Structure 1
Amino acid sequence: MVPLEKPYQRGWKRYFILRADIAFSVRAEFYTALLAKINTVEYHHDKTFKRKKRRKGRYGYEIKKQSLRELTPYLWESSNLDLTEQEKACFSQVEMYNVKTRQQEIRYVFTEPWRYRLKIAPNMVTHKKLLDTDLVRELDLIDNHIKRNNLDGRIHLLTNGRKYNFWRYYRALAKYSMVKKIPKYRSKEAYLELDF
């Protein structure tokens, strides 16, 4: 990453910070360290952070909700977050229904979210990725050559082997389904005479 000569703003970002009264309390350092582990950042093109929502045939706008990070059992037990026993005491175990997997899942939720408040700040771009222009130009030439000469299928054949043959798959299923059609009273010799 290379620093830019002229940084520019690209939308807005929203994240949690300590409330003013807790920032001057005795346990300010503890809650600051915990916030670094459970903070979430959202980006939006508009400062209002509103999204479209359809209501009774019309489109309205609602403010996007943002909450602190909910920990999975894997993160709870792993050493990536490095939660201390005091920090773990600030969480409660909650069972939630996941709509995608259609199963009950366990999550660990922070019990005192009122200690933090949301802050909206401009999202300033100060660094950019250094690109090798010659390399990018060569990659573009290769992509154009592949598209122009329709070589996608040939590359797929060379990298992934033959195309998937559905008929071979169904023939294999038919081969094994013959075993099911043999009646129970047939003798062992008659079974061995069958040619699969």
Structure 2
Amino acid sequence: MENDHLLSHRLRSVRSRKRTKRKDVEKQIRKKFKRSKELWKIKRNTPLIPLDNPYQRGFVRFFVVRDDVMRSKDGEFFEEILKKINTYMYSESRQFLKKKRKFGRRIYVEKEQKLKPISLWSWNDPKLGLTARERQYFLKYEEYCPYRKCNEIYYEFTEPWRFTLRIRPNMITHYKPVDFELEKEIAELEACLQQHKTVGVINKKIYGKSYKWRSRKEDVHLIRSGKYFTCALSAKEIAENFQDV
């Protein structure tokens, strides 16, 4: 009788076995996720090796401070601003052309290149290092983002005439060696971590949220979402909200 009592305590329920299995799967996913981050860091920090014979691969176009502005007393000031908003464009030819359809036929037009706008996150980031004087030369504006389906705040430089475009040959002087064993392990981990169920576990257990960024709880209207059972309003207030909708 006593042995039967001990055996009943040793046997786990179905719910307990499922919980243990789920935790083991989460541990394996966390381990692979951590290993994937380590491998990407190793790949990113692989030092470049100089080439014995550098070669040219197309052309690169970028902004530089105009000569008359550079000779003024604020030349170095605008040069520091340019380092934070400069853009680089690459092309196989010096003309920097692209195809465009006009009146039913394709023509070549010059590629447009602009200074980089500063996002709201970068604007408040101390790593960017914008001084109070530099911030006076930027204008705040909103632009619709088709990917996030919302308006994004940017800061644009108000005096782009102080800079001009310059074209130079794009010289390849270094290369990064390829570690085939490292690439193979990264590919195996990515194939596992990009599965649909695995992505859900990563978003919920590692990043701390299982819902998409477009369905954030603070952005969902209580009445329109239909979740009235979580509402602590009175009947009169709910009726007024229905009238507003």
Which bracket does the TM-score occupy, shorter chain normalised?
A: 0.5 to 0.7
Q: What amino acid is the match of 1:54?
A: R
Runs of 5+ in structure 2 lacking a partner? Answer: 1-47, 199-245
Structure 1 runs of 4+ with >3 Å offset: 99-102, 159-162
CA distance in 2, matches of 1:81, 1:11: 30
CA distance in 2, matches of 1:99, 1:5: 45
Tell me, what secondary structure is at the counterpart of 1:10?
A: strand
* 1:161 Cα deviation after fit: 7.4
Q: 1:9 aligns with which of 53, 56, 80?
A: 56
Q: Which has the higher contact order (CA 8 A, sep 6+)?
A: 1
Aligned to 2:83: 36
CA distance in 2, matches of 1:114, 1:89: 16
Q: What amino acid is the match of 1:85?
A: A
* 1:102 Cα deviation after fit: 4.0
Q: 1:65 aligns with which of 112, 117, 133?
A: 112
CA distance in 2, matches of 1:161, 1:42: 39
Q: Which stretch of the first structure deviates more once superposed, 54-63 or 13-22? A: 54-63
Aligned to 1:48: 95
CA distance in 1, matches of 2:166, 2:62: 6
Q: 2:125 aligns with which of 62, 78, 97?
A: 78
Q: What amino acid is the match of 2:89?
A: E
Aligned to 1:87: 134
Query: What per-residue deviation string (whole Å, max 9, x for no partner) do you get for residues 41-60 of structure 1?
Result: 11111211111111122111
Change (3 A) 1:6 1:101: same
Aligned-residue sequence identity (percent) comes to 40
CA distance in 2, matches of 1:34, 1:101: 29
For residues 162-181 of structure 1, the aligned pairs below 5 Å read none
Change (3 A) 1:95 1:5: same
Q: What amino acid is the match of 1:27?
A: D
Aligned to 2:161: 114
CA distance in 2, matches of 1:62, 1:37: 28
CA distance in 2, matches of 1:3, 1:36: 25
Tell me, what secondary structure is at the counterpart of 2:126?
A: coil
CA distance in 2, matches of 1:128, 1:110: 35
* 1:131 Cα deviation after fit: 3.5
Query: What per-residue deviation string (whole Å, max 9, x for no partner) do you get for residues 96-122 of structure 1?
Result: 233444432221000000000010111
Q: What amino acid is the match of 1:76?
A: W
Query: What per-residue deviation string (whole Å, max 9, x for no partner) do you get for residues 75-111 of structure 1?
Result: 1111121100011011011122334444322210000
More strand by share: 1
Aligned to 1:128: 175
Q: CA RMSD in A?
A: 2.7
CA distance in 2, matches of 1:11, 1:161: 44
Change (3 A) 1:128 1:93: same
TM-score where L is the length of structure 1 = 0.66
TM-score where L is the length of structure 2 = 0.54
Query: In the comparison of the two structures, how many residue pairs are matched?
Result: 146
